Structure 1
Amino acid sequence: MRRTHGIRTAALLLLGVLPLALGTAAAAAPSAPAPAAAAPAAPTEAGNPATVPALSGWKPAEGSFSLTQSSRVLVRDDALADDAATFVADLADELGRTLPVRTTTVAPKEGDIVLDVDPDRAELGREGYELGVGSAISVTGRTGDGAFLGTRTALQLLRSGNAVPAGEAVDVPKYAERGVGVCACYIHVSMPWLERLIKDASYLKLNQLWLELKVKSAAHPEANEWGYYTPQQIERLQKLADQYHVQLVPEVNSPGHIDPWIRNRPDLQLTDADGVKHPSGLDITKPEAFDFVTSIIDEYFQVFDSPYWHMGADEYLLGGLEYADFPQMEAYAKEKFGPDAVPEDAFNDFINRVNAYVKAKGKRLRIWNDGISPKATVSLDRDILVEHWLNDEVKPSQLIADGHQVMNAANSLYHVRGTYPINTARLYDEGWTPQSFEGEKVASADGIPGAKITMWPDNASGNTENEVEDEVRMPLRFIAQATWGDSTPDATYAAFEERAEAVGRAPGFDNVDRTPIRPGEYRLSAGKDFLTGDSSADGARVVLGSEGTPLKFTPTQDGYYTVEDPQTGRCLETRRGERQLNTPLEPLSAITLQDCAASNRLQRWEVAVSGSDVTLANAVTRMVAVLDGNGLVQQVPDGHRAQVFGLVEP
Structure 2
Amino acid sequence: MAERGRRTLGLLGLAAALTLFAAPVPALAQEAPPPPVTVPALSNWSSSSGSYAYGHWTRLVAASGAARRVAGTLAEDLRAAGHGTVPVVSGGARSGDIVIDIKPSDRSLGAEGYELRSGARLSVTGATETGAFYGTRTLLQLLAQGDRIPAGRTIDVPRYRERGVGVCACYIHVSMPWLENLVHEMAYHKLNQLLLELKVKSDTHPEADTWGYYTKAEIRRLVALGDRYHVDIVPEINSPGHMDPWIENRPDLQLTDSDGTEQPARLDITRPEAFAYYTSLMDEYAQVFTSRSWHMGADEYMLGSDFAKYPQILKYARDKYGPDATPQDAFVEFVNRVQAYAAAKGKRLRIWNDGLTGANTVPVAAGTTVEHWLDVAVKPSRLISQGHALMNASYALYLVRGGFHSDTEALYDERWDPRTFEGEKLTSSERVTGAKISLWPDNGRGETENEVADELWPALRHIAQATWGEPHPDGTYAEFTARGTAVGHAPGWHDLTRVPVPDGTYTFRTDGASYRTELLRTADGYATLRTPEGCLEVHGGKLTLNVPLQPGTEVSRRPCDSANTLQRWQLEPTAGGYHLVNAITRMAVTVADGGRLVQYPPDRRVPAVWRLT
TM-score, length basis structure 2: 0.93
**2-structure distance, mates of 1:66, 1:230:** 45
Other-structure match for 2:526: 560
Following superposition, the deviation at residue 638 of structure 1 comes to: 1.6
Q: Determine whether 1:337 maps to 2:321.
A: yes
Structure 1: 5+ residue runs without aligned partners? 1-44, 533-549
Following superposition, the deviation at residue 611 of structure 1 comes to: 6.3
**2-structure distance, mates of 1:354, 1:69:** 55
> Which residues of 2 match residues 205-216 of structure 1 at below 5 A?
205-216=190-201
Indicate the SS of the match to 1:460: coil
Other-structure match for 1:219: 204
Match of 1:455 among 423, 439, 442: 439
Q: Determine whether 1:624 maps to 2:611.
A: no
**2-structure distance, mates of 1:360, 1:610:** 45
Is the CA contact (8 Å cut-off) linking 1:46 and 1:489 kept in structure 2? Answer: no
**1-structure distance, mates of 2:201, 2:510:** 31
Following superposition, the deviation at residue 69 of structure 1 comes to: 2.4
Other-structure match for 1:315: 300
Q: How many residues align?
A: 581
> Which residues of 2 match residues 338-487 of structure 1 at below 5 A?
338-487=322-471
Is the CA contact (8 Å cut-off) linking 1:76 and 1:117 kept in structure 2? Answer: no
Indicate the SS of the match to 2:530: strand
Match of 1:58 among 32, 35, 45: 45
Other-structure match for 1:491: 475
Other-structure match for 2:248: 263
Cα-to-partner distance string for 1:533-572 (whole Å, 9 max, x where unaligned): xxxxxxxxxxxxxxxxx2111111211111111x34x211
Is the CA contact (8 Å cut-off) linking 1:616 and 1:624 kept in structure 2? Answer: yes
Is the CA contact (8 Å cut-off) linking 1:68 and 1:110 kept in structure 2? Answer: no
Following superposition, the deviation at residue 62 of structure 1 comes to: 1.3
Query: What amino acid maps onto 1:553 in structure 2?
Result: L
Is the CA contact (8 Å cut-off) linking 1:370 and 1:392 kept in structure 2? Answer: yes
Is the CA contact (8 Å cut-off) linking 1:78 and 1:103 kept in structure 2? Answer: no
**2-structure distance, mates of 1:608, 1:217:** 27
Is the CA contact (8 Å cut-off) linking 1:612 and 1:647 kept in structure 2? Answer: no
Is the CA contact (8 Å cut-off) linking 1:117 and 1:147 kept in structure 2? Answer: yes
Other-structure match for 1:531: 514
Match of 2:165 among 170, 176, 180: 180
Query: What amino acid maps onto 2:421 in structure 1?
Result: F
Is the CA contact (8 Å cut-off) linking 1:91 and 1:159 kept in structure 2? Answer: no
Following superposition, the deviation at residue 530 of structure 1 comes to: 4.4
Structure 1 residues 375, 526: CA separation in 2 closer, same or farther (over 3 Å shift)?
closer
Is the CA contact (8 Å cut-off) linking 1:178 and 1:483 kept in structure 2? Answer: yes
Other-structure match for 2:100: 115
Other-structure match for 1:520: 504
Other-structure match for 1:142: 127
Q: Determine whether 1:572 maps to 2:536.
A: yes
**2-structure distance, mates of 1:461, 1:162:** 43
**2-structure distance, mates of 1:512, 1:448:** 36
Other-structure match for 2:112: 127
**2-structure distance, mates of 1:640, 1:83:** 40
**1-structure distance, mates of 2:199, 2:510:** 34
Following superposition, the deviation at residue 513 of structure 1 comes to: 7.0
Structure 1 residues 379, 245: CA separation in 2 closer, same or farther (over 3 Å shift)?
same
Q: Determine whether 1:585 maps to 2:549.
A: yes
Following superposition, the deviation at residue 79 of structure 1 comes to: 1.7
Q: Determine whether 1:502 maps to 2:486.
A: yes
Following superposition, the deviation at residue 617 of structure 1 comes to: 0.4
Is the CA contact (8 Å cut-off) linking 1:523 and 1:530 kept in structure 2? Answer: no
Following superposition, the deviation at residue 479 of structure 1 comes to: 0.3
Query: What amino acid maps onto 1:71 in structure 2?
Result: T
Other-structure match for 2:180: 195
Query: What amino acid maps onto 1:443 in structure 2?
Result: T
Following superposition, the deviation at residue 171 of structure 1 comes to: 0.2
Indicate the SS of the match to 1:71: coil
Structure 1 residues 169, 190: CA separation in 2 closer, same or farther (over 3 Å shift)?
same
Is the CA contact (8 Å cut-off) linking 1:95 and 1:161 kept in structure 2? Answer: no
Cα-to-partner distance string for 1:373-430 (whole Å, 9 max, x where unaligned): 2121111112100000000000000000110001000000110001122210010011
**2-structure distance, mates of 1:574, 1:447:** 48
Other-structure match for 1:90: 77
Cα-to-partner distance string for 1:109-145 (whole Å, 9 max, x where unaligned): 2221110000111010000000101111110000000
Identity across the alignment (%): 52
> Which residues of 2 match residues 270-289 of structure 1 at below 5 A?
270-289=255-274
Computing the radius of gyration over CA atoms, which structure comes out larger, 1 or 2?
2
Following superposition, the deviation at residue 645 of structure 1 comes to: 1.7
Query: What amino acid maps onto 1:484 in structure 2?
Result: W
Indicate the SS of the match to 1:378: coil
Is the CA contact (8 Å cut-off) linking 1:185 and 1:227 kept in structure 2? Answer: yes
Q: Determine whether 1:245 maps to 2:245.
A: no
Following superposition, the deviation at residue 96 of structure 1 comes to: 4.2
Cα-to-partner distance string for 1:54-113 (whole Å, 9 max, x where unaligned): 112111111111113211111132222222111111111222411111123x1x222211
Cα-to-partner distance string for 1:283-312 (whole Å, 9 max, x where unaligned): 101111111111111100111001101000
**1-structure distance, mates of 2:64, 2:46:** 27
**2-structure distance, mates of 1:582, 1:147:** 45
**1-structure distance, mates of 2:542, 2:73:** 44
Other-structure match for 1:327: 311
**Farther off after superposition, 153-162 or 255-264:** 153-162
**2-structure distance, mates of 1:189, 1:176:** 27
Indicate the SS of the match to 2:445: helix
Match of 1:79 among 63, 66, 87: 66
Following superposition, the deviation at residue 492 of structure 1 comes to: 0.8
Query: What amino acid maps onto 1:379 in structure 2?
Result: P
> Which residues of 2 match residues 223-238 of structure 1 at below 5 A?
223-238=208-223
**2-structure distance, mates of 1:326, 1:481:** 46
Other-structure match for 1:635: 600
Structure 1 residues 266, 611: CA separation in 2 closer, same or farther (over 3 Å shift)?
closer
Indicate the SS of the match to 1:380: coil
Indicate the SS of the match to 2:432: coil
Indicate the SS of the match to 1:525: strand
**1-structure distance, mates of 2:588, 2:98:** 45
**2-structure distance, mates of 1:234, 1:526:** 31
**1-structure distance, mates of 2:576, 2:227:** 37
Is the CA contact (8 Å cut-off) linking 1:95 and 1:159 kept in structure 2? Answer: no
**2-structure distance, mates of 1:456, 1:322:** 24
**2-structure distance, mates of 1:83, 1:182:** 27
Query: What amino acid maps onto 2:114 in structure 1?
Result: Y
Structure 1 residues 218, 46: CA separation in 2 closer, same or farther (over 3 Å shift)?
farther
Is the CA contact (8 Å cut-off) linking 2:574 and 2:609 kept in structure 1? Answer: no
Is the CA contact (8 Å cut-off) linking 1:76 and 1:114 kept in structure 2? Answer: no
**1-structure distance, mates of 2:232, 2:141:** 22
Q: Determine whether 1:158 maps to 2:170.
A: no
Cα-to-partner distance string for 1:338-358 (whole Å, 9 max, x where unaligned): 111111110111111111110
Is the CA contact (8 Å cut-off) linking 2:497 and 2:524 kept in structure 1? Answer: no
Following superposition, the deviation at residue 229 of structure 1 comes to: 0.6
Cα-to-partner distance string for 1:414-451 (whole Å, 9 max, x where unaligned): 10001122210010011100000000001100000110
Is the CA contact (8 Å cut-off) linking 1:373 and 1:394 kept in structure 2? Answer: yes
Following superposition, the deviation at residue 531 of structure 1 comes to: 2.3
Instruction: Give the superposed CA RMSD.
Output: 1.3
